[in-house]
Structure 1
Amino acid sequence: MAGETARRRQEVLRAIVADYIASQEPVGSKALLERHHLPVSSATIRNDMTVLESEGYIVQEHASSGRVPTEKGYRRFVDDLHDIKPLSRAERHAIMTFLNDGVDLEDVLRRSVQLLSQLTRQAAIVQLPTLTVSRVKHCEVVSLSPVRLLLVLITDTGRVDQRNVELDAPLDTEEVHRVRDMLNSALVGKSLNDASSSLADVVNNAPEELRTALISACTVLIETLVEQPSDRIILAGASNLTRGARNLPSGLPMVIQALEEQVVVLKLLANVRDPGDVTVLIGEENKTERLHGASVVTTAYGAGDAALGGMGVVGPTFMDYTGTIAKVSAVARYVSQVLAGE
């Protein structure tokens, strides 16, 4: 009997959360009975709601109103999700078609956050592949002036980073090509961390006429790409958060401001390490105080089992968790397939 009571109360909580997500209006016992056809009396439902409230899963904001889920209630709801409804065939086809039209990796990822923000009607974020897991495919050296070079670093994940190098003395076209060849001999096929020692060897073995230029170029590469790799973030759909502005306890401006700070977003995307895993942080589970009024659903995309970066959705705590988890997971999976050439 105790087991039946616990299961019924779990169903009541699930129904309250689902109804509140759909309406953002407090949920009463009469409405629950009418909408969900629960095989018990209204008095039993009211008693269950009283118990759920005493346990901290729901709260009655006003004496005459229905109940509203708490963060603990949302967490229980998410933890009890076992079967996430897959996307429809039409939705899957639309996602793949849109992503397959991307011209390069950054375009594919930009399309992925546009899709996520449209599908979930929340703010979507994605991280470009981290340089720590990328290997250098090529380093192009372009002469912007006799005393300024542009280094264009291209990785095997399709990421492109550019850095300017100021020279103490001018280089002619042939010398620029020699610098390029020597840098590529040290960089190609290596991760940036592994390439740092090779860059040091380039400087040590540099011909006298190119030594100063190579010192400048290698210093820029090591200091800005190896020691301080820049992780780039793409954000889409932040304006969608205005739909729930009145319901965000910490206030809409605080949430949007937090999303504009790269370090905050990177911390959010660092929660999931493996493609296929989805993390849900609700309210105060977020370490950043300005996100205490929001929920965050994140996962990783990658090649095979290796994660290249993270992506996810940020929205109010009353977001549609079931649909959001399914859509974040699906888009990440299809991004991985596109990157793998499938």
Structure 2
Amino acid sequence: MSEDRRLDVLRAIVSDYVSTREPVGSRTLVERHSLGVSPATIRNDMAALEEAGYITQPHTSAGRIPTDSGYRVFVDHLATLKPLTPPERRAIESFLAQAVDLDDAVNRTVRLLSQLTQQVAVVQYPSLRRSGLRHVELVLVSPDRVLVVLISDTGRVEQRMLELPTGTADLDESVVAEVRARINAAAVGRRMPALRTALEAVADDVAPTVAPVVRAVVDVVTETLTEDVEDRIVMAGTAHLARAGFDFSHTISPVLEAIEEQVVLMRLLAEMAAEQETPGRENNDVAVRIGVETRHAGLSETSVVAAPYGGASARDAVAFLGVLGPTRMDYPTTMTAVRAVARYLSRVVTP
């Protein structure tokens, strides 16, 4: 049997099943697709695909539907993704360009992605660990307290109150101004881990009376940029799952419970990000997990399509965004939308 023809038959089955939600039979394939072979040959090909585990027969005397493995082969053999039309690109660019700050950009993105794909959309906030520093602001609150404000190059803002160690000389505006200027000169544009080395060098280059202040500020900055609790996500479009309830074998409750635990999605996106950063995969700008590949029982009948944003590659990205929906998904269209939105969001959040 021709491997190319078997792949064509699988593509046809996936396409028909996604569009009709009905199991696909050999007669349907003959009528709808120009495969250039007889119905008997198609039946033989379908039997081989079923034996290989790529399609299955859900009911006696029914057609076939793709399995998770079948969808995986289909996705892995997508030669190209159909680009968005010029009006679609202009609409995305215009909508995201209207964002007034990072929160607005993230919220606009998640709503847009859900609308484009008719799936649950998920957007990670830019990770401080992956971001560079745009500015460190120090505000003198009292002689022994300073408000430290960190502004990342993606527009994320974090505030921490710093109480100086006992025995440190009282601060005044001139000392705060000096520390602010030196830290910004050393830190702006740097990412972890180069940031801490650069900041610690500042403490070695100031007067002994100022060095403890610098070290205290350095500790606050680096701790804030490395703490695990700073990652968060926003979601939109959960109602789309209810409309797709018939795509799940029993109930959508396990799916809803899984996505309500945001840590599940954050872990999944982190795993997908790590995979994209492995040698040989850095240029794959869209990642797909199908069914059991999500490694979570509640998501075993779903697929996740995700892409990095905020960098030239997954290794340089500041976060991921994506969509979650039933495995019976229009993968080419969904992957195109996710990739396009990630690219436009990158332009918004990176200087």
Same topology, TM > 0.5: yes
Mark the CA change 1:190 to 1:45 in structure 2 (over 3 Å): closer, same or farther: closer
Q: What SS does the aligned partner of 1:124 have?
A: strand
Q: What SS does the aligned partner of 1:271 have?
A: helix
Once the two structures are TM-superposed, the CA of residue 67 in structure 1 deviates from its matched residue by 1.3
User: Which structure 2 residue ranges, 5 or more long, are not aligned?
Assistant: none
| 2:33 aligned residue | 36
What is the aligned counterpart of 1:271 among 266, 272, 275? Answer: 275
Once the two structures are TM-superposed, the CA of residue 338 in structure 1 deviates from its matched residue by 4.3
Name the stretch that deviates more: 41-50 or 8-17.
41-50
| 2:242 aligned residue | 242
Cα distance per residue 1:150-201 (max 9 Å; x no partner): 3211123333222232456785666654554454354334334223234445
1:308 aligned onto 2:318? yes
1:96 aligned onto 2:93? yes
| 1:76 aligned residue | 73
Q: How does 1:186-265 map to 2 (within 5 A)?
A: 186-202=186-202, 214-226=214-226, 230-248=230-248, 251-261=254-264, 262-265=266-269
What is the aligned counterpart of 2:151 among 154, 170, 190? Answer: 154
Q: Distance in 2 between matches of 1:255 and 1:228?
A: 21
| 2:305 aligned residue | 297
Specify the code of the residue in structure 2 equivalent to 1:100: A
Specify the code of the residue in structure 2 equivalent to 1:253: L
Query: TM-score if structure 2 supplies the norm length?
Result: 0.80
Once the two structures are TM-superposed, the CA of residue 120 in structure 1 deviates from its matched residue by 0.7
What is the aligned counterpart of 1:326 among 336, 343, 347? Answer: 336
What is the aligned counterpart of 1:122 among 100, 104, 119? Answer: 119
Cα distance per residue 1:123-174 (max 9 Å; x no partner): 2223344434433221112356676543211123333222232456785666
Q: Distance in 1 between matches of 2:273 and 2:120?
A: 14
| Native 8 Å contact 2:292 2:299 kept in 1 | yes
Give the superposed CA RMSD.
3.3
| Native 8 Å contact 2:272 2:287 kept in 1 | no
1:285 aligned onto 2:293? yes
Q: What SS does the aligned partner of 2:317 have?
A: strand
Q: How does 1:103-118 map to 2 (within 5 A)?
A: 103-118=100-115
| Native 8 Å contact 1:272 1:310 kept in 2 | no
Name the stretch that deviates more: 133-142 or 54-63.
133-142
Q: Distance in 1 between matches of 2:59 and 2:127?
A: 48
Q: Distance in 2 between matches of 1:303 and 1:51?
A: 43
Mark the CA change 1:47 to 1:194 in structure 2 (over 3 Å): closer, same or farther: closer
Once the two structures are TM-superposed, the CA of residue 206 in structure 1 deviates from its matched residue by 6.4
Once the two structures are TM-superposed, the CA of residue 18 in structure 1 deviates from its matched residue by 1.0
Mark the CA change 1:189 to 1:282 in structure 2 (over 3 Å): closer, same or farther: closer
| Native 8 Å contact 2:255 2:299 kept in 1 | no
Mark the CA change 1:284 to 1:208 in structure 2 (over 3 Å): closer, same or farther: same
What is the aligned counterpart of 1:9 among 6, 9, 14? Answer: 6
Q: Distance in 2 between matches of 1:13 and 1:321?
A: 14
| 1:85 aligned residue | 82
Specify the code of the residue in structure 1 equivalent to 2:307: T
Mark the CA change 1:279 to 1:263 in structure 2 (over 3 Å): closer, same or farther: closer
Mark the CA change 1:300 to 1:150 in structure 2 (over 3 Å): closer, same or farther: same
Q: Distance in 1 between matches of 2:68 and 2:189?
A: 47
Q: Distance in 2 between matches of 1:75 and 1:127?
A: 25
Mark the CA change 1:189 to 1:7 in structure 2 (over 3 Å): closer, same or farther: closer
Mark the CA change 1:187 to 1:83 in structure 2 (over 3 Å): closer, same or farther: closer
Specify the code of the residue in structure 2 equivalent to 1:237: G
User: Which structure 1 residue ranges, 5 or more long, are not aligned?
Assistant: none
| Native 8 Å contact 1:123 1:235 kept in 2 | yes
Specify the code of the residue in structure 2 equivalent to 1:94: A
Q: What SS does the aligned partner of 2:271 have?
A: helix
Q: Distance in 2 between matches of 1:199 and 1:228?
A: 21
